[in-house]
Structure 1
């Protein structure tokens, strides 16, 4: 039985990934911030109901000791760490001239440093175990194209792609593959907040910003968490063993690169 850990799994895409990997037969560790404990426990209970083992851990991906602890606890409580999904992240919708240095640092601390810590601690554990593993990170459509009013977020997600490529090269000798997933517009709380903030900037009613952006989706709808989770299922399984260093778009046809 393989063990997968998903960060930022109390809700949204992270929860969808955790449930999908549980359905695939992985034992699951889910983690999120202490403030999300109640929702995280509900996710853990749903996972256990599917018939696999599950643990819920709280921590902050921006803190090295916290990340080290949740990785160690995963291996101690479930026996190993075979798949690491560094999903936790935050968005920011703001004109670049209005972004403060502290706001810039926060986005990069969570989306950049947090992913770096999850990647490296997971790699150390997998190398110690000696049988390889799968490391998977959250990038974005904004990691392939910089978007106005999402400039700092975009820059952080471009960084995920670069780190994923470098890690794939460094850890291949240990049998570890490293890939990322790049969602477009997903029907989650994060996108509700992006829509709200874009609407406030552009004087648009609630839902109108998302509707305008969704008009450019070839498949004609915004994605669900399950759409993204289905691709992560592939990255976490043996069918992707010959794929590494890649960050494919899962956007319904918004960008063609």
Structure 2
């Protein structure tokens, strides 16, 4: 059971990409429970509206394609108009591709990089400009992956993209902290979300395994002996967004059940 400190984010406004499902949705729910106003942003605007309605008052949904600058600008503008400002950006949108180095194509690699790398860069740029103009600081939290720390084949483009997120976090943090904007990252281990069901199916098919077998083996290899939950990732995001993390800058936190020790 996760203890929720319901006032930690009171008065704050958070824009969460990838907010309609998985870790992003859990972040939206946790932030709202801690007092924040939340904008749920994802590709499916209808789904975003449904998630926002389920969360409750002071929550909005907006369609967002992080590969489109027009869409990014529209989502940021909507958030400011609806909630008055943006104090917190969470870059949780991302895609996974199973492609080994022997199979990889330029087209599929470009798509992974557009979403997982360029999406983080240009969402950060758009929101940081607003934060700098307001002059009241802010928090930006990026979701990387353990794959970006140690490789996780056959998914070379995905691993490269998530390693890039760590570097982007460090570079942006060094530049933006002068404006009172803290930038940090979270590297989840294996988390039981719909994306892992897709991974299980794709990798299982490649290796001739029954559905669920990849997930079972992966969970058994985690020192904690299980998959993590999206809610556990959201708890770290809430900490990094809150006042207790004011002196934390340019860090990437492993929330992974002991997979990586650093």
Q: Is the 8 A contact 2:45 2:64 kept in 1?
A: no
Q: Is 1:147 matched with 2:141?
A: no
CA deviation map 1:180-200 (0-9, x unaligned)? 111111111100001111101
Q: Is the 8 A contact 1:168 1:176 kept in 2?
A: yes
Give the counterpart of 2:101 among 82, 96, 99.
96
Equivalent residue number for residue 20 of structure 1: 30
Give the counterpart of 1:43 among 44, 51, 61.
51
* Shift >4 Å, 4+ stretches: none
Q: Please give the secondary structure, in 1, of the residue aligned with 2:222.
A: coil
Instruction: State the alpha-carbon separation in 1 of the partners of residues 114 and 73 from structure 2.
Output: 16
Give the counterpart of 1:216 among 206, 213, 221.
221
Equivalent residue number for residue 11 of structure 1: 21
**RMSD (Å) for aligned C-alpha atoms:** 0.9
Instruction: State the alpha-carbon separation in 2 of the partners of residues 253 and 216 from structure 1.
Output: 10
1:69 to partner: Cα distance: 1.4
Map residues 173-212 of structure 1 onto 2, 5 A cutoff. 173-212=178-217
Map residues 95-174 of structure 1 onto 2, 5 A cutoff. 95-174=100-179
1:210 to partner: Cα distance: 1.3
CA deviation map 1:127-160 (0-9, x unaligned)? 0111000001110111211112021100000000
- Give the gaps of 5 or more residues in structure 2: 1-10
Q: Please give the secondary structure, in 1, of the residue aligned with 2:150.
A: coil
TM-score by length of 1: 0.96
- Give the gaps of 5 or more residues in structure 1: none
Instruction: State the alpha-carbon separation in 1 of the partners of residues 168 and 82 from structure 2.
Output: 29
Instruction: State the alpha-carbon separation in 2 of the partners of residues 41 and 214 from structure 1.
Output: 33
Q: Is the 8 A contact 2:88 2:138 kept in 1?
A: yes
Q: Please give the secondary structure, in 1, of the residue aligned with 2:102.
A: helix
TM-score by length of 2: 0.94
Q: Is the 8 A contact 1:93 1:150 kept in 2?
A: yes
Instruction: State the alpha-carbon separation in 1 of the partners of residues 64 and 153 from structure 2.
Output: 32
1:161 to partner: Cα distance: 0.3
Instruction: State the alpha-carbon separation in 2 of the partners of residues 69 and 41 from structure 1.
Output: 16
1:56 to partner: Cα distance: 0.7
Work out the number of aligned pairs and report it: 252
Equivalent residue number for residue 251 of structure 2: 246
CA deviation map 1:85-124 (0-9, x unaligned)? 0110000112121111000100000000001011111100
Q: Is 1:230 matched with 2:235?
A: yes
CA deviation map 1:27-67 (0-9, x unaligned)? 0011111xx2332222101221xxx4011110210111211
